[in-house]
């Protein structure tokens, strides 16, 4: 039996069910409003499941498993002068002598070359607070996105310049935690990807084994004076300061190729290309980040 067209009310229900997959998502497809009640033209969403698959894949590659190329800029917190003709961004040829500015225990390595090798034993992960409270709530945005990795592994080696034999002088576990990570986009940059922004990044270097005779490993569980293992604690602090910026860049780069809302100009054929104007961002609903915007013509 033939039926007539859908009534407006039935059509609205169909749109809402199809586009929002339920009533608890922040956007309302029927009238195009974001979680703050403002109208929008475009909603872009990405969930932590996809982001973590990307992290797990990239962290197994040379993006993480690599020798760290420390620069003269990385040595600036230790007042190491930049040689004439070199720039802050240039790699620094690391030796034990040079690294005494970081910690005096490296002096025993002398002029032998030193390398820092990073790997991972546990994959990094993005996630939401397990039991968020109102105090965690970010006004106008939602709940914070956590980003962390407790399984980075650092090996510091030196190569004897006389016999080219390498030897490990230090092994350390490295942990990272950021409780205010965000994915945003710059509406004016023509960028193809979202901007990964670190917030409250905290790093911890914990020495696992050391062959440095002037700064030996000591059990922190023994009832001894704090000064007995003060050298080891200071070495960990100085290594954290040395490596923080280069490790920040690695963790940020792992999420630097998430596609962003694009400019639309019909491959250059349109006389009035349009772009997405950033409007609002919502985090936490169904473990997703939602970005809302308006389409405007490019000025």
Q: What values do phi and psi take at 38, rounded to 5?
A: -90, 145
| pLDDT digit string (tens) for the chain, length 299 residues | 444 444 545 544 444 443 333 344 444 555 678 888 888 887 888 888 888 988 988 888 888 999 999 999 999 999 999 999 999 999 999 999 999 999 999 999 999 999 999 999 989 999 887 766 667 778 888 888 899 999 999 999 998 877 666 789 999 999 999 998 988 877 776 667 888 889 988 999 999 999 998 887 765 555 554 444 578 889 999 999 999 999 999 999 998 888 877 666 666 666 666 677 888 888 887 788 888 888 776 65
66-68 and 113-120 beta bridge pairing: antiparallel
Alpha helices in 112-211 (DSSP H): none
Length, in residues, of the chain: 299
Residue 164 CB neighbour total at 10 angstroms: 7
Rounded Cα distance, 206 and 153, in Å = 10
Q: CB under 8 Å to 201, separation ≥6 — which residues?
A: 176, 177, 178, 244, 248, 251
| Contact present, 291 and 278 (Cβ < 8 Å) | yes
The CATH class of 46-261 is alpha beta
Model pTM above 0.85: no
| Contact present, 203 and 174 (Cβ < 8 Å) | yes
Classified as helix, coil or strand, 108 is: helix
Q: What values do phi and psi take at 104, rounded to 5?
A: -65, -15
What is residue 29's predicted lDDT score, i.e. its pLDDT?
53
Would you list the domain boundaries of the chain? Answer: 46-261
């Amino acid at each position: 039996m033939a039926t007539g067209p859908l009534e407006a009310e039935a059509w609205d229900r169909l749109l809402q069910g199809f586009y929002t997959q339920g009533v608890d998502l922040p956007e309302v497809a029927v009238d195009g409003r974001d979680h703050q009640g403002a109208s929008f033209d475009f909603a872009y969403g990405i969930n932590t499941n996809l982001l973590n698959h990307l992290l797990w894949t990239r962290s197994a590659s040379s993006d993480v498993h690599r020798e760290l190329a420390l620069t003269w800029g990385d040595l600036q917190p230790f007042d190491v002068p930049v040689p004439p003709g070199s720039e802050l961004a240039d790699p620094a040829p690391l030796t034990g002598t040079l690294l005494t500015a970081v910690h005096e225990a490296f002096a025993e390595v002398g002029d032998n070359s030193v390398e820092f090798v990073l790997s991972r034993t546990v994959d990094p992960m993005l996630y939401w607070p397990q039991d968020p409270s109102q105090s965690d709530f970010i006004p106008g945005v939602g709940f914070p996105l956590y980003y962390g990795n407790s399984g980075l592994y650092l090996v510091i080696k030196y190569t004897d310049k006389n016999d080219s034999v390498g030897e490990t002088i230090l092994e350390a576990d490295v942990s990272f935690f950021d409780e205010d990570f965000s994915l945003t986009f710059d509406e004016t940059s023509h960028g193809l990807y979202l901007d990964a922004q670190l917030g409250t990044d905290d790093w911890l270097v914990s020495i696992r084994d050391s062959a440095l005779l002037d700064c030996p490993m000591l059990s922190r569980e023994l009832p001894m004076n704090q000064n007995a293992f003060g050298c080891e604690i200071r070495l960990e602090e100085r290594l954290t300061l040395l490596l923080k910026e280069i490790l920040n860049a690695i963790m940020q780069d792992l999420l630097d190729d998430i596609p962003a809302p694009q400019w639309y100009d019909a491959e250059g054929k349109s006389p009035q290309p349009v772009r997405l104007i950033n409007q609002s961002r919502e985090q936490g609903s169904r473990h997703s980040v939602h970005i809302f915007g308006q389409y405007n013509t490019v000025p």
